[in-house]
Amino acid sequence: MEYRNKGKAELLSPAGNPEKLRAAVLYGADAVYLAGKSFGMRGASGNFTNDELKWAVEYCHSRGVRVYITLNVMPRTAEYPALTEYVDFLRDLGADAVIVGDIGVFSLVRERAPQLDIHISTQASAVSAASCNAWYKMGAKRVVLARELTFREILDIKRNIPEELELEAFVHGAMCISYSGRCLLSNYFTGRDANHGVCAQSCRWMYSPVADPAREIQLSEANRPDVPIAVAAVEDGGDTFFMSSRDTSMIEHIRELEKSGIASYKIEGRVKSAYYTAAVTNVYRMALDSYRRDPDSYVTDPLWVRELDSVSHREYGTGFYFRSPHEDANTVTMHGYIREKAYLATAVEDSVTADEDGLYDTLFVERNKLVADETVELISPGKVGRAFKADSLRNEKGEPIESAPHPGMYFKLKVPFPVKEGDILRGGE
């Protein structure tokens, strides 16, 4: 089997369920990461049954895409019998690696499935070459670095580890305010354990100030009252939020990533929509391919930035790649998500022959309501959104309709571009 982009840093995309996995593969992922119904850190995503995991490995491998299974919860003693049974299943699955964050789980995988490659989760908080080398000596193939590292620190690590030990880092998506994602806030407030994949995201809740809502609430450390630690932003309604991290976006720093020694660029977002997976994967695929074709002339296309603005996200930042957590808290200044464009439909067939007007009659399956004559955009692998007017909306029989109101409904639309199965129709400006 020939893997995609062999010998180059891979683009690693989230696959929260089978639909998202197909989107990741179609829009250019070199590898995907996903979980079974247990023992993964994203309990809110649909995840995969054992039969679906078998399908996922076959589907991806037939297309040259690697598959990594997350085993990155922090299990208690009582969970190990079920975990052992699951590791035995994974041993024969044929996945490319498992992602592990707990040394007990690491030891179990080494004992029960020694042929499985092991990637060390970011939750292991690897921030030094010494830590990476220790994992390597125990048998790890890859370390997912703690997100608190700068580029300079990553380069230092790369220079001081074996060449065959791979490094992975998050380049896009939501980041937890807690150190490498290991948080107890959710467990404290709700009893939902973030380290078992069911985080309630308490850090992103709105908190009301005790003082006058018109004032800024300044925090300080008791022994350093003159040194402000953070300022809680205050909304008009008196709500405060000072723990919520910005989403990371490194699309404007592909050159630095390609020179960093990182072997895998990871996109966060298993709980996000299939549209999110497709759009973000597509942008980074285009950027990486553009850079690799001509590094000297490479520039960031503003349309790529526009595409990333079209998906659900918080304010973007560059994490800690350029500034340490001490220098920049990397927190939001406004609460809540910047909502993504409406995910309207997916093409269910290729439409490669144009009519006499140069239009491609295409069958779509609906995700959200589409109204005739509204402006929409089509995104395709390797292409940013292209706008046109949905002025030819018809049902499957070809009869004109005013709207496609029901999810799962099939409808036809004439599109001024060639369309392939899996292309996505979204709302326009």
Topology classification of domain 343-427: Elongation Factor Tu (Ef-tu); domain 3 (2.40.30)
Q: What backbone phi and psi angles, to 5 degrees, belong to 195?
A: -80, 5
Torsion of CA 41, 122, 114, 65, to 10 degrees: 80
Domain boundaries in the chain? 10-178+244-317, 208-241, 343-427
The angle subtended at Cα 108 by Cα 106 and Cα 109, nearest 5°, is 65
Half-sphere exposure of 323 (CA within 13 A, CB side): 9
The answer to whether 240 and 331 have CB atoms below 8 angstroms apart is: no
Residue type, 366: E
Q: Which CATH number fits domain 10-178+244-317: 1.10.760.10, 1.10.3720.10, 3.20.20.70, 3.40.50.150?
A: 3.20.20.70
Distance of alpha carbon 277 from alpha carbon 51, whole angstroms: 22
Predicted TM-score (pTM) of the model is: 0.87
Q: What is the pLDDT along the chain (429 residues), one digit of tens a residue?
A: 789 998 999 999 999 999 999 999 999 999 999 999 877 655 555 789 999 999 999 999 999 999 999 998 889 999 999 999 999 999 999 999 999 999 999 999 999 999 999 999 998 999 999 999 999 999 999 999 998 899 999 999 999 999 999 999 999 998 877 766 666 566 656 777 666 667 777 676 665 444 544 445 544 434 444 544 444 444 445 444 556 788 999 999 999 999 999 999 999 999 899 999 999 999 999 999 999 999 999 999 999 999 999 998 888 999 989 987 666 667 777 666 777 789 999 999 999 899 999 999 999 999 999 999 999 999 999 999 999 999 999 999 999 999 999 999 999 999 999 999 999 999 987
The answer to whether 33 and 70 have CB atoms below 8 angstroms apart is: yes
Distance of alpha carbon 218 from alpha carbon 109, whole angstroms: 47
Q: What is the largest CA-CA distance in the chain?
A: 77
